[in-house]
Structure 1
Amino acid sequence: MSRDDLDMPLRQPESPEHERARVTRRTLLTAGLGIAALSGLAACSGDEPTEVEPRKMEARAADDELPSETTPPRIESDAPLITGSFRSAKMAGRETRWAVARPAGVSGQLPVVVVLHALNTNEKSIFGSKLEMQTVVQQYVDAGNPPFALAAADVARNYYHARADGTDGAAMILDEFLPMLAANRELELSTERIGLFGWSMGGYGALRLGAMLGAPRVAAIAVSSPALWADPRNFPPRAFDSLADYQANSLFGQQNAFARIPLLIEIGSSDQFFTYTRQWAAGLHPPAAFGTSAGGHTNRYWRSVLPDQVAFLGRNLAR
């Protein structure tokens, strides 16, 4: 069965000792990136590059608008979607929507993976017909693996850090959304130790929140096509308000924060962010599990790697 098929069999869980250095159908990031990859980061590490102005990226950057593609056949899922909203002070008083999916047939308190969405998507996008992460989790649980829930909140175009418009998606997730999940007895979720998942803008967000929370609060992080920029001259205004904003919130130079957090990165070999992501991952010690195969910044690629990501998150949450 091809990787483009949705109802693919789930791979058997890997042993823990192979999680950070697994070799599967994809290629593993090697230490050979070393000098060549990290040399491009020098411009990001200086404290005072005062003369640099950001260049405007392409009119339609890959994280800004999802390409048209054939929608895969729908898989019906019994996992219910619970939705609600709250007024968020961290999002400048905006009514903020959220969604939670618990696997069907499971009762009692569950650990949770917080899902951080991409640009021009929202809290329901991961549960829609093109990605259906809740269905992948249901298949994982139905195969006899430990259950967990998924929870997402809408940050609009905030990019998961404090912005000039007064919004801060990261603070909303950490200071409002997680406490709300813990306090809502009907949801029956444990937030003492969480997983993080995100794609594109949300991939950057999951990494940033993981660095802020650290281990052991974060059990594991899985990201697809994280929107990372290594060059302070080449970031879009939608991501950072200024050079100072970029310097304050760039993840380059922050790799040590992930030394004790299991991390899985998946990105297509033709993805716009492939080079920057590979450069960033070269600075991780120990190395992350890094998966790549043919594919771009598309829902089809992201859906194809979800089973591995769900299994990775589930294994680490269950420890």
Structure 2
Amino acid sequence: MVGVAGVAALETGAIPGRARLHEALGLTGPDGVVPDVPAGPVVSGSFNSFGRRTEVGYSIIYPDGYDASVTLPVVLVLHGRGGDHTSAINDLGIDRYLTATVRAGTPAFALATVDGGPNSYWHRRADGNDPGFMLDQEFLPLLADRGLRTGRYGVLGWSMGGYGALLWVALQYWQRRVRPGSRAVAVGALSPALYREYDEVQPGAFDGPEDFDQSQVFGRPVGFRDVAVRIDCGRDDPFAPAAHELREQLHAAGGQQAGAHTPGYWRRMLPDQLRFLGGKLGQ
């Protein structure tokens, strides 16, 4: 498990001094506390992915009180850099946050996590690794075969996965191989790893300037048409200015709260994100 300081270093290349100072002064806000409620059923497995060129692990998370065979809408969960399909539970406790969200009155839904690659940034890479193909052509059909509703689904991600969730929606009317009758209708991003200039990106995030330009989230509002968007980012997060800019461009929900690029901030914001996504899917 990557530590709090390590997460910031992974995504930004440095641990921001301002964030350290504000954390010491108690200005980055409290860490989110995982709810003291039971976790629901979790179905885990793997499949040989043509798109990822490797064996891919996944987990489907249900709220407590719901059997794993029940038909529910679903939210795809995209992990951050260095993570995998287990990170949402192990690092964020998202299984218990899901139970708490549903118990508080949000219409029930499931979460589906999958391995996107530790440094893929959730887009097609020069080596042939294509997480987008995997999500659309392999993972969504797998979820449908398990009885989940994939005609209208949500996407949630943090850090690298927050960028990936936004990119997935931005490209769904551009480069995506759109599955008939299946589309994302809501997206939530926590501290999305957004870069405005190529010279700001961390090594390995993109294959070069052309890949960076083709994988931009900014300037693609048509992809977000009829999609509910929520973007949250801590004020002491290095990605805060870019997240604010995109939120303004898209007239998205969310905001900038006290916080840095840490799992504690993501846990604190998970209840708002899950209520947002579950509410949109339940409409």
Fold match by TM threshold 0.5: yes
- Residues 1-319 of structure 1 correspond to what in structure 2 (within 5 A)? 60-62=9-11, 75=36, 77-92=38-53, 94-107=54-67, 108-128=70-90, 130-156=91-117, 157-184=119-146, 188-213=147-172, 217-284=183-250, 287-319=251-283
Give the aligned residue type for 1:98. Answer: Y
For the residues of structure 2 that align with 1:212 and 1:247, how far apart are their CA atoms? Answer: 13
For the residues of structure 2 that align with 1:254 and 1:206, how far apart are their CA atoms? Answer: 14
Question: After the TM superposition, which parts of structure 1 deviate over 6 Å for at least 4 consecutive aligned residues?
Answer: 64-71
Cα deviation code 1:101-140 (max 9, x no counterpart): 0112124300000000000111011112x41112111112
Greater C-alpha radius of gyration: 1
Give the aligned residue type for 1:171. Answer: F
Q: Is the 8 A contact 2:162 2:189 kept in 1?
A: yes
Q: Is the 8 A contact 2:191 2:232 kept in 1?
A: yes
1:145 to partner: Cα distance: 2.8
Q: Is the 8 A contact 1:195 1:219 kept in 2?
A: yes
1:170 to partner: Cα distance: 1.5
1:239 to partner: Cα distance: 1.2
* CA-atom RMSD in angstroms: 2.5
1:72 to partner: Cα distance: 5.2
For the residues of structure 1 that align with 2:213 and 2:189, how far apart are their CA atoms? Answer: 22
1:297 to partner: Cα distance: 0.3
| More helix as a share of residues | 2
For the residues of structure 2 that align with 1:313 and 1:74, how far apart are their CA atoms? Answer: 18
Cα distance, 1:71–1:148 mapped onto 2, change above 3 Å: closer
1:64 to partner: Cα distance: 6.8
Cα distance, 1:63–1:310 mapped onto 2, change above 3 Å: farther
Cα deviation code 1:174-227 (max 9, x no counterpart): 11111111113xxx3111110110001000110111123369822211110001
Cα distance, 1:65–1:312 mapped onto 2, change above 3 Å: farther
Give the aligned residue type for 1:229. Answer: Y
Give the aligned residue type for 1:155. Answer: G
Q: Is the 8 A contact 2:34 2:97 kept in 1?
A: no
Q: Which secondary structure state, in structure 1, belongs to the residue aligned with residue 102 of structure 2?
A: helix
The answer for unaligned runs of 5 or more in structure 1 is 1-58
Cα distance, 1:65–1:134 mapped onto 2, change above 3 Å: farther
For the residues of structure 1 that align with 2:151 and 2:123, how far apart are their CA atoms? Answer: 22
Q: Is the 8 A contact 1:63 1:118 kept in 2?
A: no
Cα distance, 1:151–1:171 mapped onto 2, change above 3 Å: same
For the residues of structure 2 that align with 1:190 and 1:135, how far apart are their CA atoms? Answer: 21
Cα deviation code 1:245-284 (max 9, x no counterpart): 1111111211332132111111000001011112222322
Give the aligned residue type for 1:62. Answer: E
Q: Is the 8 A contact 2:11 2:202 kept in 1?
A: no
For the residues of structure 1 that align with 2:139 and 2:148, how far apart are their CA atoms? Answer: 12
Give the aligned residue type for 1:199. Answer: W
1:316 to partner: Cα distance: 0.4
Cα deviation code 1:71-119 (max 9, x no counterpart): 9577352312210000001112x11000110112124300000000000
Q: Is the 8 A contact 1:202 1:226 kept in 2?
A: yes
For the residues of structure 1 that align with 2:106 and 2:172, how far apart are their CA atoms? Answer: 26
For the residues of structure 2 that align with 1:65 and 1:134, how far apart are their CA atoms? Answer: 30
Cα distance, 1:71–1:196 mapped onto 2, change above 3 Å: closer
Q: Is the 8 A contact 1:267 1:292 kept in 2?
A: yes
Cα distance, 1:65–1:171 mapped onto 2, change above 3 Å: farther
For the residues of structure 1 that align with 2:112 and 2:34, how far apart are their CA atoms? Answer: 24
Corresponding residue of 1:35: none
